[in-house]
């Protein structure tokens, strides 16, 4: 009986270690797959007609450089139309959009606010128009000149849904934006690159999304949660669709540098993802296994996997607990077991840290990003504070706009 009681803490730590080890192994699978050679689509035989939709709520501060950059892309002007959905605006968003040459759809519905409702309205308004594909951009996003050309190549290759590389604008504006830049590059570039290398589907990122018109006709936008991109991804994958990642199609969005602005944005993002992970994660994993559909299984796994900051906190916590158990005098009879358990936690934490380093190499991050890792403890502490806010407040229940600062077109 005494031996069983002594082994109980070790058994508990092992039960916690196993699923966390599975997560780290899964991340290693993706970063290793991202190293595999990738075949890009060839030149397109024709230039498709695009509608570029930008949902905007009081975005007068940032919209001018965004639209001017978009209007200057290397694609025939007659082949794309920019549509700004001025959603419940009380500023000059609509007039600025018109002055830049965009078409404006004004929408006023104070009871149905947020990006999801604006996109649903745009889908309805545009579905009877003649075009080949629809692109969705955020109002604080600067695009690379070849964005539409690359989307056109992927559509030519037979893909119906394409996700661009969603990156960070002005990544070294602050210590926080530099670390968000690292997280974005791993989450929005390396992991999708690995998934597509082994034939899996990536998830939509909410920005830089391209849909063939047949897709929006077949799947009207009905995603109105705090993480509407995740919700719509689930709808598409359950419908049998595949989302391809286009690493060369890059869009850069503004990240809030101020702590208050960044906290508001992250609480909304994390709360929205957590709500859908709790609702759909395990269900999708089980359904994917039953249907032998690895796209659905992988998407469920992606929802379940915690953010890197939360995963790091969990591993450090497990290591501390295992170390405490190992040094207790009462554990001397099974010291070989407790020390082995502590080494297992050390190895798992080391594996995660090496994964981050390798992912940064695969993601081609500049040297300044590696120096920014010195501030990672503070960033992890900030993310932990966000998780506490989510637990206390249970996260925001409705969409909240993130404050902007002026964008300097680069």
Look over the chain and give the mean of its residue pLDDT values, rounded to a whole number.
88
Question: Tens of pLDDT along 190-217?
Answer: 999 999 999 999 999 999 999 999 999 9
The answer, yes or no, to whether residue 272 has pLDDT greater than 50, is yes
| Whole-number Å distance between alpha carbons of 38 and 257 | 35
Where are any strands of DSSP class E within 150-193? Answer: 161-169
In this prediction, residue 333 carries a pLDDT of: 62
Would you place residue 337 in the very low, low, confident or very high pLDDT band (cuts 50, 70, 90)? Answer: confident
The answer, yes or no, to whether residue 2 has pLDDT greater than 80, is no
In this prediction, residue 33 carries a pLDDT of: 96
The answer, yes or no, to whether residue 10 has pLDDT greater than 80, is no
CA atoms within 13 A on the CB side of 97: 27
- Asked if 348 and 364 count as a contact pair (C-beta separation under 8 A), the reply is no
Q: In 3-state terms, the chain is what percent helix, strand and coil (to 5)? A: 60, 15, 30
| Whole-number Å distance between alpha carbons of 192 and 200 | 9
The answer, yes or no, to whether residue 264 has pLDDT greater than 80, is no
Q: What is the mean pLDDT of residues 276-293?
A: 91
CA atoms within 13 A on the CB side of 195: 27
In this prediction, residue 1 carries a pLDDT of: 39
Could you give the residue range(s) of every CATH 3.90.550.10 domain in the chain?
Answer: 50-258
| Whole-number Å distance between alpha carbons of 202 and 249 | 14
> Hey, what CATH class is 50-258 in?
alpha beta
Q: What is the mean pLDDT of residues 232-237?
A: 95
| Angle, alpha carbons 271-376-169 (nearest 5°) | 70
């Amino acid at each position: 009986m005494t031996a069983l009681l002594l082994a109980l803490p070790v058994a508990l730590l092992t039960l916690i270690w196993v699923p966390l080890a599975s997560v780290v192994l899964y991340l290693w699978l993706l970063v290793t797959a991202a190293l595999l050679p990738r075949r890009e689509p060839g030149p397109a035989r024709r230039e498709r007609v695009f509608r570029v939709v930008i949902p905007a709520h009081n975005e007068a501060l940032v919209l001018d450089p965004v639209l001017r950059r978009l209007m200057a892309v290397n694609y025939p002007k007659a082949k794309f139309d920019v549509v700004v959905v001025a959603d419940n605006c009380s500023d000059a968003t609509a007039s600025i959009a018109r002055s830049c040459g965009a078409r404006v759809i004004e929408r006023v519905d104070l009871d149905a606010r947020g990006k999801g409702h604006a996109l649903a309205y745009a889908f309805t308004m545009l579905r009877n128009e003649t075009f080949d594909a629809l692109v969705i951009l955020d109002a604080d996003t600067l695009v690379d000149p070849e964005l539409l050309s690359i989307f056109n190549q992927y559509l030519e290759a037979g893909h119906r849904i394409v996700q661009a590389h969603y990156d960070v604008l002005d990544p070294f504006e602050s210590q926080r934006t530099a670390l968000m830049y690292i997280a974005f590059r791993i989450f929005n570039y390396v992991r999708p690159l690995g998934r597509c290398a082994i034939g899996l589907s990536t998830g939509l990122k909410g920005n830089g999304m391209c849909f063939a018109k047949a897709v929006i006709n077949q799947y009207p936008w009905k995603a109105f949660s705090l993480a509407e991109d995740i919700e719509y991804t689930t709808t598409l994958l359950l419908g049998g669709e595949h989302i391809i990642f286009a690493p060369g199609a890059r869009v850069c969005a503004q990240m809030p540098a101020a702590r208050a602005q960044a906290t508001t944005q992250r609480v909304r993002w994390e709360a929205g993802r957590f709500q859908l992970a709790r609702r759909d994660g395990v269900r999708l994993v089980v359904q994917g296994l039953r249907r032998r559909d690895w796209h659905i299984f992988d998407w469920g796994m992606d929802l379940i996997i915690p953010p890197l900051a939360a995963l790091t906190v969990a591993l450090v916590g497990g290591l501390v607990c295992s170390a405490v158990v190992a040094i207790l005098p009462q554990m001397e009879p099974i010291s070989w077991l407790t020390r082995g358990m502590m080494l297992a936690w050390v190895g798992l934490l080391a594996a995660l840290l090496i994964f981050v380093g390798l992912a940064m190499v695969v993601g081609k991050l500049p040297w300044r990003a590696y120096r920014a890792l010195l501030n990672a403890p503070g960033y992890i502490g900030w993310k932990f504070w966000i998780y506490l806010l989510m637990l206390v407040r249970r996260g925001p229940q409705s969409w909240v706009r993130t404050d902007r600062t002026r964008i300097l077109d680069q």
